Chains A and B, each alone.
Chain A
């Protein structure tokens, strides 16, 4: 299929449709408005339903309703809106409903700003809502990768009956790149015998009870154990990471999303000069590629690790846990939506080499 120059927000929407998403519930917030706008135009064309909800709270609960009814449903928002959705995300995780949630991150806390940011790392990766649960978190760094990820996101959500978050910075939503969209007029959908589709006591399908309330301590513990076991499988099977020129590297950079591309430019420039630096780019932020990070930095050649992010040291914590003290870890990052520059990263690497 031919390439098309597409904005990230539009590409992500079309890719979701190609992945079989037919229900979108959302509320406008900058910088992700192109997603609901695109969906409102396109979903009716494919027999789907777009609904502008009265709030982000309502939107995520509509996703719960539609996902629970067996459909592929999604919502998208940006940071303050994602905060509002946390109640629903926690509910969806506990009720074991597949759902896809897109967060085009903007600066926070509070209303913050509307520029690209990575400040919601903790919120997405460490839970966000209350209780013992995880969402699978994908962090794309190009429009093509975002598109390819949507099919995987819906499949993962269905396979593990879990919420999946696409954690992209606002820049991914706003920028344009050529993309190849895989057209998929008849997406395959797994059987969902647990879904609410009507109950006939004489039938074979069990009665659906989609619930996040387990009032007996033992019952709640059984749920958490079940989720935990599922999370262990996810950790084994679903980790995605890109290791770029890390073999024999002296300095290893760690970054995700758009920031990782800025880092890659620094790696390329230094590699051309014969300076050995590499980049580890987590593509899934949860499950975190702990092993890949550890293996990359444990090499004898590695003098130090530099975590680069558009937030005030969030990814840094997972990197430190993965590195586990075997090498010094330094941090370079700014909050308030200030994108690190290739020049700045190179300068920092040179300083680390001298030390």
Chain B
């Protein structure tokens, strides 16, 4: 198993966090993982992205030039990375923010209205968790409960009350791609 993902969106959409939670969950499940933040000229214009690799084997290069999955939260990110996805890979589109369709025909596209679904849960901030849930619903590379364990570590016990909301968001996202 090897998954090479790119998460991309505006700064503030929680894109880097999505990647970190996935990487931390992979680690907890005994997988090898790397997380590389956008660290280049692409940071201009307030867009952020990160590359996350999950693998059963030791990871050589942490760089992702051809992702197996692309998760995009805004339109510039889709336009920037669509062509890089490996044939047979998948693209997760936040359809709340992106009004165009994936042009490629050799990849699978999933449209997830993250912001609307988050609003249904009463908290716009969990749009990223909806999206992460959608990705997990498709790839099943790590368990949603492991992601929540990673989130709890990140938040600390003081903010543990936020876990149920995030669980709901992950599950709601996962349900979108079933």
A/B touching: CB–CB < 8 A = yes
Residues of A at the B interface (CB closer than 8 Å) are: 3, 5, 31, 115-116, 170-171, 174-178, 258, 261-262, 264-265, 267-268, 337, 339, 341-343
Q: With A5-B27, A178-B27, A337-B40 known to touch, is A264 a contact of B35 (CB < 8 Å)?
A: no
B33 within 8 A of A: yes
* Contact B36 A175, beta carbon cutoff 8 Å: yes
* Contact A261 B24, beta carbon cutoff 8 Å: no
Residues of B at the A interface (CB closer than 8 Å) are: 20, 23-24, 27, 32-37, 39-41, 60-63, 65-66, 150
Q: Which residues of B contact A178 (CB under 8 A)?
A: 27, 32-33
Secondary structure type dominating chain B contacts: mixed
* Contact A341 B27, beta carbon cutoff 8 Å: no
Q: Which residues of A contact B150 (CB under 8 A)?
A: 5
CA gap between A342 and B34 in the complex, in Å:
17
Q: Told that A264-B60, A265-B61 touch, could you supply 16 new A-B pairs with CB distance under 8 A? A: A5-B20, A5-B23, A5-B33, A171-B36, A174-B37, A174-B39, A175-B34, A176-B23, A176-B35, A178-B27, A178-B33, A261-B63, A262-B60, A265-B60, A337-B40, A343-B65
Ranked nearest first, the 10 interchain pairs of A and B with the lowest CB-CB distance are A265-B61, A176-B35, A264-B60, A265-B60, A178-B27, A262-B61, A175-B36, A5-B24, A261-B61, A115-B40
How far is the CB of B110 from the nearest CB of chain A, in Å? Answer: 26
Chain A residue nearest to B16 (CB atoms) is A176
Q: With A174-B36, A178-B33 known to touch, is A342 a contact of B23 (CB < 8 Å)?
A: no
Partner of B62, one of A5, A115, A261, A343: A261
A-B contact pairs, 9 of them (CB 8 A): A171-B62, A176-B35, A177-B62, A178-B33, A265-B60, A339-B63, A342-B61, A342-B63, A343-B65
* Contact A341 B39, beta carbon cutoff 8 Å: no
Partner of A262, one of B23, B27, B32, B63: B63
* Contact A116 B23, beta carbon cutoff 8 Å: no
How far is the CB of A215 from the nearest CB of chain B, in Å? Answer: 48
Q: Which residues of B contact A116 (CB under 8 A)?
A: 39
CA gap between A45 and B168 in the complex, in Å:
37
* Contact A177 B35, beta carbon cutoff 8 Å: yes
Most B CB within 10 A of own CB, among A175, A261, A267, A342: A175
Partner of A268, one of B35, B37, B60, B62: B60
How far is the CB of B86 from the nearest CB of chain A, in Å? Answer: 12
Q: With A5-B27, A176-B34, A177-B33 known to touch, is A31 a contact of B39 (CB < 8 Å)?
A: yes
Q: Which residues of B contact A261 (CB under 8 A)?
A: 60-63
* Contact B63 A115, beta carbon cutoff 8 Å: no
Most A CB within 10 A of own CB, among B37, B62, B65: B62
Chain B residue nearest to A172 (CB atoms) is B62
CA gap between A268 and B24 in the complex, in Å:
26
Chain B residue nearest to A177 (CB atoms) is B34
